[in-house]
Structure 1
Amino acid sequence: MAWNEPGGNNKDPWGGGNRNNDGPPDLDELLRKMQQKLNGLFGGRGADPETSSGGGSFPWSLVLIVLAVLYGLWGFYQVNANESAVVLRLGKYHETVTSGLHWNPPLVDHVTKVNMTEVRTERTTGQMLTEDANIVEVVLTVQWHINDAESFVLRVREPLKSLQEATDSALRHVVGSLTFNGVISQNRTQVSADTQVRLQQYLDLYQTGIRIDTVNLSDAKAPREVQDAFDDVTKAREDEVRLQNEAQAYANQVIPVARGQAQRMIEEAEAYKARVVESARGEASRFSQLLTEFQRAPEVTRERMYLDAVQDVMSNTSKVMVDVEGGNNMMYLPLDKLAQESATQASQARQVSPQVIDDITQRVINQLRTEVANSRRSRDVR
């Protein structure tokens, strides 16, 4: 039942039972009751409504204390070990703090936390013109981290966009100073190294607070429109390199052999030369000595020279002519035939007894004696 309905006894829920039912509740009285409740809550004595009806003040000091406590708690913040915090006071740079618990006045200072150890990756791709007027499609990956929080937050408005534009500029400068083959195959490492150096120079000049860790040339190829023709050219170059390697391997195999043969022929020629020269010197020395002996005893030397010459000639023949003294007939001994027969007999019978050898010797002697006797008889008859 509402307080102002019939039967409600006109009891004012705000404590104003002695008031007229025509007016609204008294705001001052409501504030005094709230003050009493707050004082009781914080240990203070409640004011007597009878004595305080004449007036009172709201506890603004308590409200200010509560607000001050909340404001102080609001100002605490934690900076992790891998972070740095840039503090702006009234919009102006104040300081850079490292890891730990810090406090700054809220609404006065603005704190921006930056991760200093996180390695981030930026990827760029595009078609670029090389030094020999060819177009190459390049994919580059850049890994970087923040090394200066103040510069990263305050010096550049959009550091990531600046990084992208600086990467593209450095890459185009490096690619434009190399040939097409150098970019795609021969100088890929050089492209990455030169791009990293030039990119870091740009970022330091812009004061971005970014440090480049690595630059990797992920891919470099011809555009899709000419990829088939480029593959044919690449295959032809690979075949050229393969054939050159095979030719070089064959040359490495043949040249040492030829050099060895040439050296052997040179050494044989040198040996022949030395042998001929030494032989000529020996013949000349022998002739000089023979000349000296000939001058001393011409007849004896001439006869000795004749005998030596006949001996040399006859030693190279397999036939023997025997001159019978006082006769015109000469006896011929076919030593080659005898040697052949001896070889045949030896092949037929590997082992010949000494008796057989003596028998053959006796036969030869008897035949020689018979022929000599016949020669003497014929001479006597004449």
Structure 2
Amino acid sequence: MAWNEPGGNKDDNRDPWGGDNKNGGRKEQGPPDLDEALKKFNDRLGSILGGKKGGSGGSGSGNDGGNSPSSAASFGLLGIILVVAASVWAVSGFYRVDQSERAVVLRFGEYYNTVGAGLNWNPTLIDAVQTVNVTKVRSLSRRALMLTEDENIVQVNLSVQYRVGSPKDFLLNVRNPEQSLENATDSALRHEVGSSEMTDILTEGREALGQRVRARLQQYLDNYGVGLEIRSVNVESTSAPDEVQAAFDDVIKAREDEQRVKNQAESYSNGVIPEARGKAQRIIEEANGYKQEIIARAEGEADRFTKLLTEYNKAPEVTRDRLYLQTMEQVMANSSKVLVDVEGGNNMMYIPLDKMVGGGSNVNSSVGMSSTDQSRFSSSAGLSSDTEVDELADRVLQRLREKSANTTAPRREGR
């Protein structure tokens, strides 16, 4: 029966949190006594473990040395609870590491080992596991104004590609690895820029600058034990400060114009010099050919003279006449005039008929009259135009043809 149920025994009208109350079995309302609560908890724990329950109001069972059935059930329940707790503890220790990760195991807060990909187990509450992605490539961008070796200021933008190389060092050696990387990048970049000239950094030296910064930055990180591996350092852009960018653009444009003019001059030189060398070689070859021709001709003339001398010694008169005729033939071959020696009269100049057919303009040249002689002849004869001169020439030709036709005397060609 409940302690406060109506109709109950007055002796049982007691506070459930305490003992009997002398004032009618009641106590004043208030918080329970901590000592009594602990005493009751100890009594219950002793009953579960098979001990005797203490207290002045309790009655013994009469079996002082043996265990009750309730004690055996309590032992079985405790075993089940322990087995379940051990199973939960064991199952909670399994964990899986991805292919791209590595797990760092700490045992009681101290580094124990590094675990690779796969299913692993560690004792819960004893080991602590932290996983790190070691294949992901991370990026860091930096932009800064720096002083060069020749005391000029340049603005450099670069990006750093890196990944975790040592998970242990990355997690345990440095509190903030990314911040350490930023500081090391600034230090390495300022060291390399301060050792270079501005012209080299702004033009073709950017690639070499990136390689030097990468090597120095990796050395810094290894010395710090950050556990990061630098994959690449790309110098994205280098320029002068914004305040003087226009002046630098003019300088760069002038330098490009200078290079362009040099390239044009070299192109012109490459075109003229080979041509001049070719012309010089052609002149040399022509001179050599002319030399060989003159030598061969001289040798041929000398040989012909030697052979002619031999023939002359054999028949001097015949050889002289033949030489005279050959010489006159060569001299008169290009002349259109023929000199006729007429017996019993004066010599007469003969003009071939094929030269006369050409017209009045050719007659004057055939008869050997120059333009000055023609003008003098026209003025002395009272001729005022070229037409009259042509008519007079035609009449002269007609007279010559008639005279040639009527001439029957023998003629002899003069030498």
CA displacement 1:88-116 (0-9 Å, x = unmatched): 22232111112334333344323222111
| Residue 298 (structure 1) aligned to one of 276, 298, 316 | 316
- 8 Å contact kept, 1:327–1:375: no
CA displacement 1:168-226 (0-9 Å, x = unmatched): 23323333343322222212222222222232233233332211112111111112232
Higher mean C-alpha displacement, 18-27 vs 68-77: 18-27
Pairs aligned (count): 344
| Residue 407 (structure 2) aligned to one of 356, 371, 375 | 371
Superposed displacement of residue 319, structure 1: 0.3
Residue pairs, 1:24-35, within 5 angstroms: none
Amino acid at match of 1:298: P
Say whether residues 1:272 and 2:287 are aligned partners.
no
What's the Cα RMSD here?
A: 4.3
Amino acid at match of 2:356: E
- Alpha carbons of structure 1 residues 304 and 14: separation in structure 2 relative to 1, 3 Å: farther
The equivalent residue for 1:119 is 137
| Residue 342 (structure 1) aligned to one of 354, 357, 381 | 357
CA displacement 1:238-278 (0-9 Å, x = unmatched): 11122222233333333343333333333332222222222
- 8 Å contact kept, 2:170–2:227: yes
In structure 2, C-alpha distance between the alignment counterparts of 1:134 and 1:50, rounded to whole Å: 101
**Structure 1 gaps, min length 5:** 39-46, 346-362, 377-382
Say whether residues 1:261 and 2:279 are aligned partners.
yes
Higher mean C-alpha displacement, 243-252 vs 213-222: 243-252
Superposed displacement of residue 235, structure 1: 0.7
- Secondary structure of 1:172's match? helix
Amino acid at match of 1:291: L
- 8 Å contact kept, 1:14–1:30: no
- 8 Å contact kept, 2:14–2:26: no
- Secondary structure of 1:373's match? coil
- Secondary structure of 2:155's match? strand
- 8 Å contact kept, 1:329–1:375: no
Say whether residues 1:210 and 2:228 are aligned partners.
yes
The equivalent residue for 2:152 is 134
In structure 2, C-alpha distance between the alignment counterparts of 1:107 and 1:9, rounded to whole Å: 54
Higher mean C-alpha displacement, 23-32 vs 108-117: 23-32
- Secondary structure of 2:203's match? helix
Amino acid at match of 1:342: V
- Alpha carbons of structure 1 residues 7 and 322: separation in structure 2 relative to 1, 3 Å: farther
- 8 Å contact kept, 2:340–2:411: no
- Alpha carbons of structure 1 residues 136 and 15: separation in structure 2 relative to 1, 3 Å: closer
In structure 1, C-alpha distance between the alignment counterparts of 2:357 and 2:189, rounded to whole Å: 99
Superposed displacement of residue 34, structure 1: 8.7
CA displacement 1:22-67 (0-9 Å, x = unmatched): 25798599869999xx9xxxxxxxx9x9878x99999894776666
Higher mean C-alpha displacement, 77-86 vs 365-374: 365-374
Superposed displacement of residue 69, structure 1: 5.3
- Alpha carbons of structure 1 residues 375 and 241: separation in structure 2 relative to 1, 3 Å: closer
- 8 Å contact kept, 2:341–2:411: no
- Alpha carbons of structure 1 residues 141 and 364: separation in structure 2 relative to 1, 3 Å: same
In structure 1, C-alpha distance between the alignment counterparts of 2:332 and 2:37, rounded to whole Å: 168
Residue pairs, 1:349-360, within 5 angstroms: none
Higher mean C-alpha displacement, 252-261 vs 89-98: 252-261
Residue pairs, 1:146-161, within 5 angstroms: 146-161=164-179
In structure 1, C-alpha distance between the alignment counterparts of 2:324 and 2:38, rounded to whole Å: 173
* TM-score normalised by L of structure 1: 0.73
- Secondary structure of 1:139's match? strand
Say whether residues 1:231 and 2:243 are aligned partners.
no
* Percent sequence identity over aligned pairs: 45
| Residue 265 (structure 2) aligned to one of 220, 226, 247 | 247
Amino acid at match of 1:99: A
In structure 2, C-alpha distance between the alignment counterparts of 1:339 and 1:9, rounded to whole Å: 182
In structure 2, C-alpha distance between the alignment counterparts of 1:149 and 1:251, rounded to whole Å: 62
In structure 1, C-alpha distance between the alignment counterparts of 2:347 and 2:166, rounded to whole Å: 127
Superposed displacement of residue 165, structure 1: 2.6
- Alpha carbons of structure 1 residues 368 and 19: separation in structure 2 relative to 1, 3 Å: same
CA displacement 1:91-142 (0-9 Å, x = unmatched): 3211111233433334432322211111111122222333433322111111
- Alpha carbons of structure 1 residues 311 and 236: separation in structure 2 relative to 1, 3 Å: same
In structure 1, C-alpha distance between the alignment counterparts of 2:13 and 2:154, rounded to whole Å: 90
Superposed displacement of residue 318, structure 1: 0.8
Amino acid at match of 1:22: R
Say whether residues 1:193 and 2:211 are aligned partners.
yes
Superposed displacement of residue 290, structure 1: 2.5
| Residue 219 (structure 1) aligned to one of 234, 237, 240 | 237
The equivalent residue for 1:43 is none
Say whether residues 1:327 and 2:344 are aligned partners.
yes
Amino acid at match of 1:176: G
Superposed displacement of residue 233, structure 1: 0.3
